[in-house]
Amino acid sequence: MRYFVAVARHRHFGRAAAELHIAQPVLSRQIRALEGELRAQLFRRDKRATELTDAGRRLLADAEPLLAAAEALQRRVARGADRFVVAFMPGLIVTDPVRRLRERHPGLAVEVLRTTWNDQVEVLRDGRADVSLVRLPIDQRGLTVRPLTHEPRVVVLPAGHRLAGKESVAMTDLAGERLLQNPDAVAEWRAVATVAAEPVPALAVEEKLENVAAGRGIVVLPLSTATYYTRPDVTWSRIDGIPDNQVSLAWVAERRDPLLDEFADLLKRSS
């Protein structure tokens, strides 16, 4: 399956073989064997191109998540059964449920992992974490997601900004401001924006605040995150008329570890 995905990605047997560090005839034989097992042609080849057939496209849609799940399983097994990793987004506190889980299971190493908007789900899919406290929206496919709480969202501004000092603002007040984060996280801004979002890479909260303080633009954060990262050169105001940020606990749906439900219960009690 890994060989198939490599060929599908490169659309070229030679380049795929080079990536896999195998001879091209070996790769061709493996693909023919897979096609024989599936009783379907996966690639259409001629002298100029290698293209996926309809059957190949259907297989590719399932093959990549299947391989990712297998690699995540390998990582969890290599990590050992005596470790449980809790991932969390900035501003969210997991101290109490983590401490209680350690008390209940003295032989269990309960560890924490800080995430960002971009990897809060990825750490589950690749096996780095067992559970993740996430901020919606996320891609929920293949996950169990349990709602925990919600909180207002605020806009973070430079201390000298024209809106600084206002207790609350409307999203339309921010239409001309440049957003310094993935606009998918702030759909309400995208609906009214009159400027494009600043093309910035995936930034940690501290980096976002540095850019806000420097006057490059604004960010929209959950209230707990904004208050946790207090600094004198930025300020924040609540945003009227937009939904709260939803906080949930997520894990890979196919897993059946009783520790998942146990931690979810501990977290719910501490919320």
Q: What is the pLDDT of residues 8-63, one digit of tens each?
A: 999 999 999 999 999 999 999 999 999 999 999 999 988 778 999 999 999 998 88
Rg for the chain, CA atoms, rounded? 23
The answer to whether 205 and 229 are in contact (CB under 8 A) is yes
Residue 106: CB atoms within 10 A of its CB come to 6
Mean pLDDT of 88-100: 94
Q: In what order do the strands lie in the sheet with 234-240?
A: 168-170, 234-240, 153-158, 219-222
Residues sharing a CB contact under 8 Å with residue 27, sequence separation 6 or more, in sequence order: 3, 7, 13, 16, 17, 20
Residue 150 binned pLDDT confidence (cut-offs 50, 70, 90) = very high
Per-residue burial over 243-258, b = 16 or more CB atoms within 10 Å of its CB, e = otherwise: eebbbbbbbbeeeeee
Confidence of residue 203 (pLDDT cuts 50, 70, 90): confident
**What value does the mean pLDDT take over residues 76-85?**
74
Q: φ and ψ at 17, to 5 degrees? A: -60, -40
Give the pLDDT band of residue 103 (cuts 50, 70, 90): very high
Q: Are 189 and 149 contacting, i.e. CB atoms less than 8 angstroms apart? A: no
Beta strands in 102-161 (DSSP E): 109-114, 131-135, 143-151, 153-158
Q: What's residue 170's pLDDT?
A: 97
Q: Is the pLDDT of residue 118 over 90?
A: no
What is the mean predicted confidence (pLDDT) over 150-163?
Answer: 96
How far is Cα 269 from Cα 263, in angstroms, rounded to an integer?
Answer: 10
Give the residue-averaged pLDDT of 169-173. Answer: 97
Q: Is the pLDDT of residue 117 over 90?
A: no
Report the share of the chain in percent with pLDDT over 70. 97
Instruction: Look up residue 5 and give its amino acid.
Output: V
In this predicted structure, the answer to whether residue 76 has a pLDDT above a threshold of 70 is no
Which residue ranges form the domains of the chain, and what is each CATH number? 2-68 (1.10.10.10), 80-149+246-270 (3.40.190.10), 153-243 (3.40.190.10)
Residue 235 has pLDDT above 70, yes or no: yes
Q: Higher pLDDT residue, 82 or 51?
A: 51
Please check the confidence at residue 156 and state whether its pLDDT lies above 60: yes
Mean pLDDT of 171-181: 96
Q: DSSP readout, 50-81?
A: EEE-HHHHHHHHHHHHHHHHHHHHHHHHHH-T
Summarize the confidence of residues 156-160 as an average pLDDT. Answer: 96
pTM for the whole structure:
0.69
Mean pLDDT of the chain: 91
